[in-house]
Every structure is written in structure tokens, then in C-alpha cells.
């Protein structure tokens, strides 16, 4: 009896999604923010921890939405409402069904650091010869991935989907929705330790992508220098490896230049850590049959934005603006790369690293100790976590960005090279405004 009921439930879900899909293909797309509604779109009234999208469903219809998908029984019979048991499930199942109708190949990217940069760089390379779409911004979670898929046009040949997570099991769920043909893990480091519990938890979570690819018999692009992934995971799967050791750096400031097979590769990216992205671009480009000149064209055209390893000039100062996010792994890499740049007046302005849970204090102290061992001209730390150590190190400490901005500005420095690195909520980019 239980088995029969379960089958009937699954059957009703499939019928519901097919019916919803018929509305979707006749619409102008799906949205979850009632403030951005355009005529003939479908609004999904998602519930969150602090909001209930059902409350905005009627407003969405008044604003021109074709339908409002809701799971509040009180809205069931109202004009324009499409009632389901769970709006989030409906959105994800609709995206999964749409994915099954698409003919494009999907590349999934996850990792602790550099997902967005990798996504944008690969898009620049692949679109030299293909019709390519990619995740917009960092819409890489349980909402962003289905919305990305639902925005994909029938003529798209390659879709690049960024996948983020802060708990075990999330990547597996996103893979079930996107059903990727190719998988890339940029790197694995100490990120979101609060949610993952430990570095081992991060490894387990990110490896979910490779497990899915092996199960599907898809293709994995593997960085030979990534020590936190056990090659046994994909030893029997289709995989193509790459390594930054095949490239030789010829210049790294302000932008990375390198050589590969006697070919000069000019980028608009700062940091030798981007060598891995360059190596991946050549490997993926070669796999898709893109000639080397178009690979070079794509790499050279890409310029980082949105506070991700941007190079900015303010007055006489040069600024490496990397304030979109930070964790112990990316912070360590940024500091090490910065220490290798030849400049007489290097200044670090570093912000707290968030979502580290029980590891927070130890990881922040480790960063302070590392900087203390470097010969930087000046070091400034911003955020309540770093601030706890103000009596243990002879640096400048500020409890928050507001206090720091009252005391200092970029214009207080002259002829300096400044590294701005911190978690998004610290808002270090305000120094450049």
C-alpha cells in the first residue's frame, strides 16, 4: 500500500511539473523577486528563514506576472495563483525538467575559491566558437542553479553552471537538478568550516561533484596540483588532467603573463594562483576543439570584476581589490603571492574571514602570525575577530569598516601597493569608493 501511494504521489508530481512547464514555455521566464517582475513572467513565492514569498504573490500578479506559484492554501483559489505542495520543490523540479529538454552540454564548477573567476574565464574562451551561457553573478545555490537553467535558451550549445555550498549534500542535490556532462573542482580549502565541520567535510562535499560525474560516466577536469582530492575517486572515470607547472611565469604584476609551449599568454588577471585557471582554459578549450589562437583571445579578453582580484589605481597608489570573499586558504594564497611582488611599499588591509565556526580564532591568529613574519611596510586588520588580537600584535586594528574609514583612507598613502582582502560582509571595497 505504501509503495502504491508513493508511486501515485510521484506520478502526480510529474503531471504537475509538466502542466507547470507548459505555462513556463509560454512565459517570459521565472523569477523569485516580486520587485523585478516583468510582464508575462512566472513568480515563485519562495519561503526563507526571514521571509515568505507567498505574501508577495498578489503583488506579483498585479505587476504583470503570468502566474504566481504558491504553497499557501489561503491563496489556492485566487486569480493567477498556481498552487503546489512546496514552491522550492516545484522550482527545482521545473528546472530539472527543462534541463531534460535542453540539447546543450553543461559544465559544472565548484570549489572553495575561484569558482566565479573560473566560470567567467571559461565562458570567455568557449564563446569564441560556441553559443555559451553561464551563471549570472554568483547565483550558485539551491535557488540560483535552477534559475540559471530556466534562463537557458534552446540555441545554447554550452552552459556553465557554478555550484556553491556550505553543507554536505548540497552539491549532490544541485547535480541532480543540473545533470552536468562535465565537472570541475577549482580547489578545496578551509572555507565554510562552520557548515562543513572540518576540512574533511569540505573535501567530502566538493567531491560530490566528481562522484556524480563518475556515476553518470561524464568527464572530469582534474587539477594535478590539488592535494585534497583523492585521485581514486575518479581513477575509473573519464578525466583530463591539467597542471600550472606546464606554464612559466614571465611577469606577474600588475597582470599575470606566462608562456606555454613557447607561446606567450597575456592575461588581465593578478596573482600567480590564476595560473591554474589558465591551464584549465587550455585543457577545456582543447577538449572542445577550440584552436589555440581563440583560447589565447578568450584568456586575454577576460578582466576580473566585482571586487575579485581587480587591479585599481587611486592617485599614486596601486590596489589589489580582492574583497568579495575570504577564507584561510584564499587569504594565505593572497598574502603569499603579495609577498613575492617586488615593490618597496607594500601595505595589507585585511578583513575578518567569516563562517569558520570553532576554527575562527585559531585561523585568524594564524593569518596574523604569517603577516608578522613578512616585511610589509604596514598591515591593517579590520573586523571584530581580528580585533580580539590587538594586544598580541603590533599592527593597526579596527573593529569594523566604519571605524577604519574614520581613521584612514587610501589617499593617506602614497606610491603604495595595497592588498585589500576580506569576507564580503566586511566591505573592504568601501576604501576604493
Q: What is the pLDDT of residues 117-135, one digit of tens each?
A: 999 999 999 999 999 999 9
CB burial class (10 A; 0-12, 13-18, 19+) of residue 334? buried
Mean pLDDT, residues 101-113: 97
pLDDT of residue 74: 96
pLDDT of residue 8: 37
Using pLDDT thresholds of 50, 70 and 90, give the confidence band for residue 3. low
Taking 70 as the threshold, does the pLDDT of residue 61 lie above it? yes
Taking 60 as the threshold, does the pLDDT of residue 4 lie above it? no
Residues in Cβ contact with 319 at an 8 Å cutoff, skipping those fewer than 6 apart: 311, 312, 313, 410, 417, 418, 419, 420, 431, 432
Neighbours of 241 (CB within 10 A): 13
Taking 50 as the threshold, does the pLDDT of residue 201 lie above it? yes
pLDDT of residue 12: 53
Is residue 372 helix, strand or coil? helix
- Which of 269, 242, 273 minimizes the C-alpha distance to 257? 269
Residues 158-177 pLDDT 10s: 999 999 999 999 999 999 99
User: How far, in Å, CA of 55 to CA of 49, rounded?
Assistant: 14
The reported pTM is 0.94
- Which of 176, 280, 270, 172 minimizes the C-alpha distance to 222? 280
Mean pLDDT, residues 49-75: 95
* Distance separating the N- and C-terminal Cα atoms of the chain: 65
pLDDT of residue 14: 72
Where does 67-217 have alpha helices with state H? Answer: 87-101, 115-126, 144-150, 170-178, 193-196, 199-206, 208-216
Residues 343-399 pLDDT 10s: 999 999 999 999 999 999 999 999 999 999 999 999 999 999 999 999 999 999 999
All three cell numbers of 312:
585599481
pLDDT of residue 156: 98
pLDDT of residue 49: 84
Using pLDDT thresholds of 50, 70 and 90, give the confidence band for residue 30. very high
Residues 256-282 pLDDT 10s: 999 999 999 999 999 999 999 999 999
Taking 60 as the threshold, does the pLDDT of residue 13 lie above it? no
Mean pLDDT, residues 227-235: 88
In contact, 98 and 21? CB cutoff 8 Å:
yes
Mean pLDDT, residues 127-153: 96
Mean pLDDT, residues 195-218: 96
In contact, 169 and 118? CB cutoff 8 Å:
no
Amino acid at each position: 500500500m505504501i509503495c502504491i501511494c508513493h508511486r501515485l504521489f510521484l506520478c502526480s508530481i510529474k503531471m504537475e511539473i509538466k502542466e507547470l512547464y507548459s505555462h513556463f514555455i509560454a512565459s517570459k521566464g521565472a523569477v523569485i523577486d516580486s520587485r523585478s517582475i516583468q510582464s508575462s513572467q512566472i513568480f515563485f513565492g519562495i519561503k526563507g528563514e526571514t521571509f515568505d514569498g507567498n505574501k508577495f504573490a498578489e503583488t506579483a500578479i498585479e505587476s504583470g506576472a503570468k502566474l504566481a506559484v504558491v504553497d499557501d492554501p489561503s491563496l489556492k483559489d485566487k486569480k493567477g495563483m498556481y498552487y503546489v505542495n512546496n514552491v522550492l520543490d516545484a522550482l527545482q523540479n521545473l528546472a530539472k525538467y527543462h534541463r531534460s529538454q535542453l540539447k546543450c552540454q553543461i559544465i559544472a564548477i565548484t570549489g572553495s575559491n575561484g569558482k566565479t573567476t573560473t566560470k567567467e574565464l571559461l565562458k570567455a574562451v568557449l564563446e569564441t566558437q560556441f553559443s555559451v551561457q553561464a551563471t549570472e553573478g554568483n547565483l550558485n545555490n539551491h535557488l540560483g542553479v535552477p534559475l540559471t537553467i530556466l534562463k537557458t535558451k534552446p540555441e545554447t550549445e554550452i552552459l556553465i553552471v557554478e555550484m556553491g555550498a556550505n553543507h554536505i549534500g548540497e552539491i549532490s542535490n544541485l547535480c541532480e537538478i543540473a545533470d552536468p556532462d562535465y565537472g570541475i573542482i577549482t580547489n578545496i580549502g578551509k572555507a565554510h568550516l562552520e557548515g562543513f565541520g572540518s576540512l574533511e567535510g569540505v573535501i567530502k562535499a566538493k567531491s560530490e561533484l566528481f562522484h556524480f560525474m563518475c556515476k553518470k560516466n561524464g568527464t572530469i577536469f582534474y587539477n594535478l596540483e590539488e592535494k585534497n582530492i583523492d585521485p581514486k575517486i575518479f581513477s575509473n572515470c573519464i578525466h583530463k588532467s591539467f597542471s600550472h607547472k606546464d606554464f612559466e611565469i614571465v611577469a606577474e604584476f600588475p597582470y599575470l603573463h606566462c608562456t606555454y609551449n613557447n607561446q606567450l599568454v597575456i592575461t588581465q588577471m593578478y596573482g600567480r594562483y590564476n595560473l591554474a585557471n589558465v591551464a584549465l582554459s587550455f585543457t577545456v578549450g582543447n577538449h572542445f576543439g577550440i584552436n589555440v589562437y581563440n583560447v589565447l583571445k578568450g584568456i586575454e579578453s577576460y578582466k576580473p570584476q566585482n571586487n575579485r582580484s581587480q587591479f585599481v589605481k587611486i592617485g599614486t597608489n596601486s590596489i589589489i581589490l580582492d574583497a568579495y570573499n575570504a577564507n584561510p586558504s584564499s587569504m594565505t594564497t593572497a598574502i603569499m603571492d603579495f609577498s613575492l611582488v617586488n615593490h618597496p611599499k607594500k601595505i595589507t588591509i585585511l578583513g575578518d574571514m567569516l563562517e569558520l565556526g570553532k576554527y575562527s580564532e585559531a585561523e585568524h591568529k594564524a593569518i596574523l602570525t604569517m603577516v608578522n613574519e613578512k616585511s610589509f611596510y604596514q598591515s591593517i586588520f579590520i573586523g571584530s575577530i581580528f580585533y580580539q588580537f590587538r594586544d598580541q600584535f603590533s599592527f593597526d586594528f579596527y573593529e569594523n569598516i566604519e571605524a577604519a574609514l574614520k581613521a584612514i583612507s587610501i589617499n593617506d598613502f602614497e606610491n603604495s601597493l595595497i592588498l585589500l582582502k576580506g569576507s564580503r560582509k566586511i566591505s573592504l571595497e568601501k576604501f576604493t569608493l
